[in-house]
Structure formats: structure tokens, C-alpha cells
């Protein structure tokens, strides 16, 4: 149960911080463009570290990567509690993203090699996001939220000291071009879907609040629906064929974004986010099952996937913000839906190199 404890505590910490980062940045005097950099810096840092330490974990062992990543995630979270300038906040947020990017791929693959069912294991993260964001809503102060997150990471670090040292080490070339080419049929549509998703997530709360007229408590309910749906769907789709699961997930994502563009009230929003939550569960679990079953260099392959997530987390909000500025919120959601649907079409035609 130690690896499950790490998953729960780390996800709770990340979720509690993620919710209010833009507001905390504003409270210490950040301008709007600085807030954009702060939000993007976390994704950029995760992009870099996931790519680097996925390979490192395959070559040198997953336990050491999990240990180091959790330790520095705790340290940077504690320091963020006292960051009082936009520059310091952005630097520490970058380092925090780099730390979390180090260990998450290793944790997932470690659980897989312990023969945990990935659907059940990943669903713990969805449940933790609900709890983490609820705690953040109660604490609602920068110092308290990041101290809470630091304590969660610190507890996860102590759990990680007692997991067994893994023996499944493999050689991976320093630049894993071969692995990227082998799994390109998964990476490309995943990236397009994720760019579209983060374009939508960047403007969705403002769209629901201003355009649709849903109050803040209603928006919270809509967001919680996503994680609740993920939790139950993850646990029901373990045996779905990975490629089919990925295609279903991308298609549901496209549908969910289009439904959001037509939302008129909170009930429409709840249904739309349930569709999106189901889509993410199908896509993420299908992709993880594919990569862990098709690759000997499991942590490298999953690390590249999480690196793509970080890249999209940095790029998507920028594209979403510019799109909303020039075309409006509804048009941005429709554009995000189209991008995701294009990812679905690509997933039908790209050759599966891993079967050669």
C-alpha cells in the first residue's frame, strides 16, 4: 500500500496548489502577463523533467527518482508558502513543476510492475484531486495551501523510503528517438487532444461565470463532476483494448468540448464535464496500458507521454487565451473540439509502429 499512499498524497498536494495559483500570483502583485508565465512555467518544467527522468529511472532505478523528486517537491512547496514577489513565485513554481515531473512516471510504472491494475491505481489520483481542491477551498490562503501541500509531499517522501528497490533496469539511449518513433501513433493524437483540452480549460471558468452566468459554487460542482466521473470510469475499463480506449477517449473529449460551447445552465455543464471526465479516463488509461505493454523501456515511454502533457499545459492556455481574445469563448471551445476531433481522425490512420 506504500505506492498507493504516494499516489494519493502527491496528487492531493498538486491538486490543492493548482486551483488557486493564478489568484495567489495576483495577490502578490503579478500582472496578467506574469500570471500567464507562472502558469506556463509549471508545465514547461514538467515537460523537461518528465523527459529527462523517465529515461533516468529506466537506467538507474525508479526508487531513487521517486525519492529525490518527492523530497524536492516538498522543499519547493514549503518555499512557495513564503514567496512574496512575482519573480520568486515564478522561479519556485518552475522548480516545483520540475520536481513533480521527476517522479510521476516512475510511480505509475512502479505500480504496474507490482501488478497493480492501472485503472484502479490511477483512479486514486482522481479521488485525490477532489479532496485536494476541497482542502484548498477551505484553507484559501497562499501560506496555508502550500504548507499543506509541502506536508503531503513530505509524507509521500517518507513512504517512498520504504518501497523496495526495483531491479528492472534497462539500457536506454540518451536521446530516445527510437522510442518516440515506435509510439508515434499514440503520442501525436494524444498531444493534439491535450492542446485542445488545455485551450478549453484555460478559459472555461471565465466562460461559465461570465457568458453562461453560472455562480462560483456551481462551477465548483461542475469541476468536481469531472473527477468523480474519472474515478468510476477508470475502475470499469481496465480490459478495454488500449487503442480502442484511446480513440473513444479522444472522441468523447471532442464531444464534451462541443457540448460546453452550447451550455445554457449548470445541468448542461455537469453533463458536459461528465463526458469530458469519461473521455480522459478512456484516453489516459488506454495510453498507459499501451505504453507499458508495448515497451521494455516503460518509464522512458511513459515519461515522454507526461512530457507531452507538460508541453501542452504550457502551450494550450496561451493558444486558448489568444483565441478567446480574438474569436470569443464559444468559438474557442468549438476550435478545441475540432482539434480533438482531428486527433481522433489521425489515430485511425497513423501506422502502429510497435507492431512491426
- Give the pLDDT mean for 2-13: 95
Domain end call among 126, 160, 194: 160
Angle at 271 between CA 270 and CA 277, to 5 degrees: 85
**Residue 66 · residue 107 · CB < 8 Å:** yes
Confidence (pLDDT) at 355: 47
What average pLDDT does the structure give for the chain? 91
Does 356 map to a domain? no
Residues 211 and 344 in one domain: yes
Grid coordinates of 238? 481496465
Range of the domain at 308: 177-351
Q: Are residues 202 and 345 in the same domain?
A: yes
Pair 193, 326 in one domain: yes
**Whether 152 and 275 share a structural domain:** no
Give residues with Cβ within 8 angstroms of 80, minimum separation 6.
17, 89, 92, 93, 96, 142, 146, 149
Same domain, 189 and 78: no
pLDDT band, very low/low/confident/very high, at 255 (cuts 50, 70, 90): very high
Task: For residue 241, count other CB atoms closer than 10 A to its CB.
Answer: 12
Report d(CA 320, CA 323) in Å as an integer: 5
> Is residue 285 over pLDDT 80?
yes
Cα angle, residue 20 at apex, residues 24 and 72 outer, rounded to 5°: 85
pLDDT in tens, 44-75: 999 999 999 999 999 999 999 999 999 999 99
Is 170 inside any structural domain? Answer: no
CA 46 to centroid of chain Cα atoms:
10
The verdict on residue 144 lying in a domain is yes
With 80 as the cut, is the pLDDT of residue 353 above it?
no
- Residues 151, 197, single domain; the answer is no
Judge if 156 and 182 occupy the same domain. Answer: no
Give the predicted TM-score (pTM) of the model.
0.88
Q: Are residues 145 and 8 in the same domain?
A: yes
Q: Which helix (H) or strand (E) covers residue 309, if one does?
A: helix 298-327
* Residue finishing a domain among 110, 131, 160: 160
In a domain, 168, yes or no: no
In a domain, 294, yes or no: yes
Q: What total of structural domains would you count in the chain?
A: 2
Q: In the chain, what's the furthest Cα-to-Cα distance?
A: 55
Q: Which of 97, 130, 160 is the last residue of a domain?
A: 160
pLDDT in tens, 97-145: 999 999 999 999 999 988 898 999 999 999 999 898 888 878 888 899 9
Which among 299, 308, 256, 227 is positioned nearest to 15, based on CA atoms? 227
Domain contains 46: yes
CB 191 within 8 A of CB 308: yes
Residue 337 has pLDDT above 60, yes or no: yes
Higher pLDDT, 220 or 208: 208
Whether residue 172 lies inside any domain: the answer is no
Identify the band that residue 352 occupies on the pLDDT scale cut at 50, 70 and 90. low
The whole-number pLDDT of residue 20 equals 81
Pair 271, 259: CB distance under 8 Å: yes
> Is there a domain that residue 167 lies in?
no
Q: 68-91 in b/e burial notation, b at 16+ Cβ within 10 A?
A: bbbbbbbbbbbbbbebeebeebbb
CATH number at residue 198: 1.20.1250.20
- Would you state the torsion angle of the CA atoms of residues 302, 238, 235, 184, taken in this order, to the nearest 10 degrees? 30
Residue 248 in grid coordinates: 473513444
Judgement on whether residues 85 and 143 belong to the same structural domain of the protein: yes
Q: What is the dihedral of CA 339, 343, 344, 347, to 10 degrees?
A: 170
Averaged pLDDT for residues 327-341: 95
Q: Same domain, yes or no, for 42 and 134? A: yes
- 192-217 pLDDT, tens digit each: 999 999 999 888 888 998 899 998 78
Residue 173 has pLDDT above 90, yes or no: no
- Gyration radius of the chain over CA positions: 19
The verdict on 133 and 195 lying in the same domain is no
Q: Residue 350 — pLDDT band, cuts 50, 70, 90?
A: low
Q: Could you tell me if 192 and 264 lie in one domain?
A: yes
pLDDT at 23: 80
pLDDT at 351: 59
Amino acid at each position: 500500500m506504500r505506492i498507493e499512499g504516494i499516489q494519493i498524497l502527491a496528487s492531493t498536494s498538486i491538486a490543492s496548489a493548482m486551483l488557486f495559483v493564478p489568484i495567489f500570483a495576483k495577490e502578490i502583485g503579478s500582472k496578467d502577463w506574469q500570471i500567464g508565465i507562472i502558469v506556463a512555467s509549471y508545465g514547461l518544467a514538467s515537460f523537461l523533467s518528465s523527459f529527462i527522468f523517465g529515461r533516468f529511472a529506466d537506467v538507474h532505478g525508479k526508487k531513487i527518482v521517486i525519492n529525490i523528486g518527492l523530497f524536492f517537491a516538498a522543499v519547493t512547496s514549503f518555499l512557495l508558502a513564503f514567496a512574496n514577489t512575482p519573480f520568486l513565485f515564478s522561479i519556485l513554481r518552475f522548480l516545483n513543476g520540475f520536481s513533480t515531473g521527476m517522479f510521476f512516471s516512475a510511480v505509475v510504472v512502479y505500480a504496474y510492475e507490482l501488478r497493480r491494475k492501472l485503472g484502479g491505481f490511477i483512479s486514486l489520483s482522481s479521488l485525490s484531486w477532489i479532496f485536494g481542491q476541497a482542502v484548498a477551498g477551505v484553507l484559501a490562503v497562499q501560506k496555508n495551501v502550500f504548507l499543506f501541500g509541502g506536508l503531503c509531499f513530505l509524507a509521500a517522501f517518507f513512504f517512498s523510503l520504504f518501497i523496495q528497490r526495483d531491479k528492472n533496469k534497462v539500457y536506454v539511449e540518451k536521446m530516445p528517438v527510437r522510442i518516440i518513433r515506435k509510439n508515434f501513433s499514440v503520442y501525436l493524437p494524444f498531444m493534439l487532444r491535450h492542446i485542445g483540452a488545455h485551450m478549453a480549460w484555460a478559459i472555461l471558468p471565465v466562460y461559465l461565470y461570465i457568458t453562461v452566468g453560472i455562480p462560483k459554487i456551481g462551477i465548483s460542482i461542475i469541476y468536481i463532476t469531472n473527477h468523480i466521473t474519472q474515478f468510476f470510469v477508470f475502475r470499469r475499463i481496465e480490459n478495454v483494448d488500449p487503442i480502442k480506449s484511446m480513440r473513444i477517449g479522444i472522441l468523447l473529449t471532442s464531444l464534451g468540448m462541443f457540448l460546453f460551447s452550447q451550455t445554457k445552465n449548470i445541468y448542461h455543464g455537469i453533463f458536459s464535464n461528465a463526458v469530458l471526465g469519461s473521455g480522459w479516463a478512456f484516453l489516459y488509461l488506454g495510453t498507459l496500458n499501451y505504453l507499458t505493454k508495448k515497451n521494455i523501456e516503460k518509464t522512458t515511454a511513459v515519461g515522454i507521454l507526461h512530457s507531452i502533457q507538460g508541453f501542452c499545459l504550457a502551450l494550450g492556455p496561451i493558444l486558448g487565451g489568444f483565441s478567446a481574445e480574438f474569436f470569443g469563448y464559444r468559438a474557442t471551445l468549438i476550435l478545441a473540439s475540432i482539434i480533438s476531433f482531428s486527433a481522433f481522425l489521425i489515430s485511425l490512420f497513423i501506422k502502429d509502429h510497435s507492431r512491426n
